A and B are shown apart, each in its own frame.
Chain A
């Protein structure tokens, strides 16, 4: 069964189309990523799927329930970790978790066990009795993630779950999300603008830009579109024979030679390097260094949208324009 089914989902704010007729499906048990820069419409999509925003048009169902007509059933099936903090600063960390667990109807003994569990996971046991208003940004983030896991939802939405976290905590959270997905069978939908996060975690990624999906597939297949790995060889000596040998390999997709550096694209580059080095030696050239580069989702994003995801200026202008348009209408 599809955990999520979305058909031509659209959200318009004051004449600005934040999400533009997006269509996709997520199978149960998938770890699905929405990858895109700030303002791409990822959060708006999550807000619609989690019943917090009414769609302008289109259809969406989560865990088999219509997000407009069966809000309560949808809410029962999902967990959400929001991008912005959604904590009560006047309560302690543990009290925030208790509030959540009780809202989801978890009994007392089970509640205590699960809260201890998740507090351990995000390493906040010692701060559990501190008011959340005294937490640092990273601690709040960790507490929120802990909270999203307490009630073990069918579908878990993580909106930029590791934004602003240190490498260590990020790694822990990745591991936990992955375990939750694989062992717990939880369908996870995650938004991120971190390429490596989408690449590491997600089975399938949708690249989102300007409210639309530019591409959607497994990260490895998205990267394949770019022609595979790039192997660069820097050689010394007369390379004409070597160049001829390379042209005879049908697994070399493209080759470029600049200043004695051969840049070749191929699949599974790491497995071809020994053969390339052998060929070079047979052709009488010395290999000085070999470099293998796997294409990243960053390259994929650039390929589909014509800009890099960290192009903060572009993103900012985009948002300013959107805001100005919004104000103009009011």
Chain B
């Protein structure tokens, strides 16, 4: 398996140029997480949420969850954006290049993860307006690691779906039956202890659960699992998804 760094770089560069030229899209995609923060965060802030570890205000609980949500949505979309390339024919140009499919997948992920990370950082910055404070600079760095792992995982998932789909028609199916359940089951909005046992089982197989828990552990020092455990789980899932993404990408047809 050959990793071609130039190819990864040029795919990343393309993504950056496209993002810079579509600033309104990047800004627009900040709207949903911000509304969640504003309406849920401020609305529930004075309520006592059962199962929340002692004395954590809801906004502090919610911000890491919304960061996880931003990573999830942006990344799945980023993975699915291959379908736009297919629509505009550019995918053929990519697929016919003498570059290993793993490098193509890594290049996409590098670009998508960077875009997602920038959005996450913007949300983190804006969340200070709502009174959110993290533990310190190191907390942010550790959170970034988790954010990149979550982005990688879901870019991989998006790529797998894109490889199996002909066009964007299945998009809402993926959003409603995959992305939203992953989001709601991840503990982004409320502690998982409140769920029925069979639902909480689903939460434990939800990869985002460990990502959100890790980000939360990093930022505010409160988490269900030890942060090191989250880190190991997230890394393993991310690596698996890259491998699967490459496998499916190799088998997909560009025309």
Chains A and B bind each other: yes
Q: Write the residues of chain A forming the contact surface with B, with a CB cutoff of 8 angstroms.
A: 47, 50-54, 72, 75-76, 78, 80, 82, 84-91, 95, 98-100, 102-105, 131, 147
> Can you name 13 A-B pairs with beta carbons within 8 Å?
A47-B255, A50-B96, A52-B254, A75-B98, A84-B92, A86-B91, A88-B18, A88-B85, A91-B17, A95-B14, A95-B17, A103-B99, A147-B93
Determine if A105 and B96 form an interchain contact, defined as CB atoms under 8 angstroms apart: no
Q: Which 10 A-B pairs have the closest CB atoms?
A: A76-B98, A75-B98, A102-B10, A86-B89, A103-B97, A86-B93, A86-B92, A90-B18, A84-B89, A88-B90
How many Å lie between the Cα of A53 and that of B6 in the bound state?
26
Determine if B97 and A87 form an interchain contact, defined as CB atoms under 8 angstroms apart: no
Decide if B253 is an interface residue (CB 8 Å cutoff): yes
Residues 100-113 of chain B, each 1 if its beta carbon lies under 8 Å from chain A, else 0: 10000000000000
How many Å lie between the Cα of A53 and that of B17 in the bound state?
30
Decide if B9 is an interface residue (CB 8 Å cutoff): yes
Determine if A90 and B17 form an interchain contact, defined as CB atoms under 8 angstroms apart: yes
How many Å lie between the Cα of A51 and that of B250 in the bound state?
11
Determine if B6 and A102 form an interchain contact, defined as CB atoms under 8 angstroms apart: yes
**Chain A residues closer than 8 Å to B89, beta-carbon distance:** 82, 84-87
Determine if B21 and A90 form an interchain contact, defined as CB atoms under 8 angstroms apart: yes
Additional 4 contacts, C-beta under 8 A, given A88-B85, A91-B17: A53-B253, A88-B14, A103-B97, A104-B97
Determine if A72 and B100 form an interchain contact, defined as CB atoms under 8 angstroms apart: yes
**Chain B residues closer than 8 Å to A85, beta-carbon distance:** 88-89
Determine if B92 and A103 form an interchain contact, defined as CB atoms under 8 angstroms apart: no
Given contacts A88-B88, A103-B7, contact A52 B22 (CB under 8 A): no
**Chain A residues closer than 8 Å to B96, beta-carbon distance:** 50-52, 75, 78, 80
How many Å lie between the Cα of A90 and that of B85 in the bound state?
11
Chain B nearest Cβ from A185, distance in angstroms: 20
Chain A nearest Cβ from B98, distance in angstroms: 4
Chain A nearest Cβ from B143, distance in angstroms: 31
Chain B nearest Cβ from A90, distance in angstroms: 5
Q: Which chain B residue has the least Cβ–Cβ distance from A133? A: B88
**Chain A residues closer than 8 Å to B10, beta-carbon distance:** 98-99, 102-103
